[in-house]
Amino acid sequence: MCGIVGYVGSGSALEIVVAGLRRLEYRGYDSAGVALVADGDLWMRKRAGKIDVLEEALSAESPPDSSTGIGHTRWATHGGPTDSNAHPHISADGKVAIIHNGIIENFAELREELTEAGVHLTSETDSEVAAHLVALTLPDTGDDLAEAMRQVSRRLSGAFTLVAVDARRPDRIVGARRNSPLVVGIGDGEAFLASDVAAFIAHTRDAIELGQDQVVELTAGGVEVTDFYGEPVDTKPFTVDWDASAAEKGGYDLFMLKEIAEQPRAVADTMRGRIDRSGQLHLDDSRINDNELREIDKVVVIACGTAYHAGLVAKYAIEHWTRIPVEVELASEFRYRDPIVGRSTLVIAISQSGETMDTLMALRYAREQGARTLAICNTLGSTIPRESDAVLYTYAGPEIAVASTKAFLTQIVAAYLVGLYLAQVRGNMFGDEVRRILDQLADMPSKVDLVLDTVEDVRAIARELAEARAVLFIGRHVGFPVALEGALKLKELAYMHAEGFAAGELKHGPIALLEEGLPVVVVVPSPSSSAMLHDKIVSNIQEVRARGARTIVVAEEGDESVNSVADHIIRVPATPTLMQPLVATVPLQVFSCEMATVRGHDVDQPRNLAKSVTVE
């Protein structure tokens, strides 16, 4: 939530910061602003609305030349999306500008303290207090911005990334981080700060991820990182393994369309290099040894939204392969229900961003209870993998569209690899059995490619149904989480009422929702892989149809049994049951994307949402 950019060097800070904000707009887009340090003063502009609105305002002005600046794109928490609540916030003396991501939980008492000290606050945000506090602390530190930031950070509770500039020190910017992401980019005679490397990838791929409770001071010549008490800390530099073009639309109208099209590559990359010559699987980074994995007697998957649906899919496979019970829990619910987790529990946190606060808090809770933790994550060096005992990265590449697509498919693949790894070390499966599944997985990129060839038909169906009031999605077994995911995509993109149900559950209540013409999307399992499931769902389609619903059936090539019960058929290649989510989800992504487009919505940036949800 909220995107932050800072720049110091010799280039045009305004250009670099605004371009960076564009790349971070996915993190929040209800207001934006910039502050530049020039001629001993701050020059600041901010506007409610998307970055376009800010850029329009900037184009009507003559900003000063400056090579030090900060910028912010906001997802509102405290105070609505107005000009005055937009960031940066400026201290009462006009000398310090601050941008903030997160929530300062003790802001009310700090606000009161400032008001009592005669400071006039001009916004309703929690963030503004930080600007005033830093400015008021500076004189006691000999005008040392980094030291003032450290002292203020120690007084704040909650989650925050803060970045500040001081009009009197044009050669530096300072950042602080607690429970919220902040990455440093190291260029040649220039340095960057951002919530995500995407903001500076056009300039450098050399980065440092800040750790918890650290303050960084950047000048054109270098970077100094300390903890909140001023002790120098070791940093972990890394090189970003994708370039600027990966974060561009690459000829597609929408990031979502590009990311849907990238899925065959993303799935293939996530599998690449995991299996050695002897057929053994390898994780990226593991401090859990095989003996410990043999002691695991329960797996708990924690995740949110789409990642949670990936966990639900994985449950079927991991239980089937390992015979270990798997619970899948919404991260936001997990830690508040006193869950039973201990040393023999493997907690798998699935997160595209690696920064989702609900998942992070659930992960920390699990660690406190002694659980072994494993992260499945798409963002190198982000907090969730850093705080886990083992990591399996999904190599989906940057996912910019707010609605998750390629991350979902790769999360399923990664979770399957974990399941197979467990089955391998625990001896639940013979090597040839593991290899048979790996071969099936290896076939999936080309099968997803085949699905992509048929998207025009899916689009036509979406256009026909675009006026519907609601859409239901049903499935059985792994088709059930696919139905949930199809419904989530439609809600978030097309703003339509959509629900996913286990097909067998319909008759226990939801069937009352059916009415003449209501579109019902049905995910049909393979008849050859699971005949019983298949036949049951064909009966479900008949029940739905008998009540006047319009059926859109996702069925595999050659399954003629659905012809007589489907109003529309979406064909996917034949796959074994557990692989089907990797093909069946794709048309549902396209369906929602087209529905949203026809209904005139912003597909890449749906209302009220943000890509990285760093508040609980």
List contacts with ligand F6R (CB under 6 A): 304-307, 351-353, 356, 359, 403-404, 488, 492, 612-613
Q: Rounded to the nearest whole angstrom, what is the least distance from the CB of residue 356 to ligand F6R in the complex?
A: 3
* Catalytic option among 46, 258, 447, 611: 611
Q: Rounded to the nearest whole angstrom, what is the least distance from the CB of residue 540 to ligand F6R in the complex?
A: 26
Cα–Cα distance, 324 to 315 (Å, whole number): 10
- Cβ contact 424:281 at 8 Å: yes
Cα–Cα distance, 173 to 37 (Å, whole number): 10
C-beta closer to ligand F6R: residue 119 or 307: 307
Q: Are strands 206-209 and 222-227 parallel, antiparallel or unpaired?
A: unpaired
C-beta closer to ligand F6R: residue 101 or 356: 356
C-beta closer to ligand F6R: residue 151 or 382: 382
Q: Hey, is 188 helix, strand or coil?
A: coil
Cα–Cα distance, 88 to 70 (Å, whole number): 8
Q: Which residue's CB comes closest to ligand F6R? A: 305
C-beta closer to ligand F6R: residue 363 or 541: 363
Cα–Cα distance, 338 to 181 (Å, whole number): 28
Cα–Cα distance, 301 to 283 (Å, whole number): 17
Nearest to 193 by CA among 217, 228, 213, 170: 217
Which residues fall within 8 angstroms of residue 332, CB to CB, at 6 or more apart? 304, 358, 362, 616
Q: Rounded to the nearest whole angstrom, what is the least distance from the CB of residue 47 to ligand F6R in the complex?
A: 26
C-beta closer to ligand F6R: residue 5 or 488: 488
Alpha carbon of 95 to those of 194, 219, 388, 492, 593: distances in Å? 22, 18, 41, 41, 46
C-beta closer to ligand F6R: residue 85 or 592: 592
Which residues fall within 8 angstroms of residue 193, CB to CB, at 6 or more apart? 4, 5, 6, 7, 70, 163, 173, 175, 182, 183, 184, 185, 216, 218
Alpha helices in 427-521 (DSSP H): 431-452, 455-465, 479-494
The amino acid present at 554, given as its one-letter code, is V
Phi, psi of 329, rounded to the nearest 5 degrees: -130, 140
Q: Rounded to the nearest whole angstrom, what is the least distance from the CB of residue 471 to ligand F6R in the complex?
A: 16
Which residues fall within 8 angstroms of residue 39, CB to CB, at 6 or more apart? 64
How many Å separate Cα 578 from the centre of its chain? 24
* Catalytic option among 2, 304, 377, 593: 2
- Cβ contact 31:74 at 8 Å: yes
Nearest to 143 by CA among 163, 107, 121, 172: 172
Tell me whether residue 2 is one of the annotated catalytic residues.
yes
Q: Rounded to the nearest whole angstrom, what is the least distance from the CB of residue 360 to ligand F6R in the complex?
A: 9
Q: Rounded to the nearest whole angstrom, what is the least distance from the CB of residue 502 to ligand F6R in the complex?
A: 20
What angle (nearest 5°) sits at the alpha carbon of residue 328, between those of residues 325 and 333?
A: 130
Q: Rounded to the nearest whole angstrom, what is the least distance from the CB of residue 589 to ligand F6R in the complex?
A: 9
Tell me whether residue 447 is one of the annotated catalytic residues.
no
C-beta closer to ligand F6R: residue 164 or 392: 392
**Residue whose structure tokens are 């760093």:** 614
C-beta closer to ligand F6R: residue 495 or 567: 495
Q: Rounded to the nearest whole angstrom, what is the least distance from the CB of residue 370 to ligand F6R in the complex?
A: 24
Q: Is 478 left (phi over 0), alpha (psi -120 to 50) or beta?
A: alpha
Q: Enumerate the active-site residues.
A: 2, 611
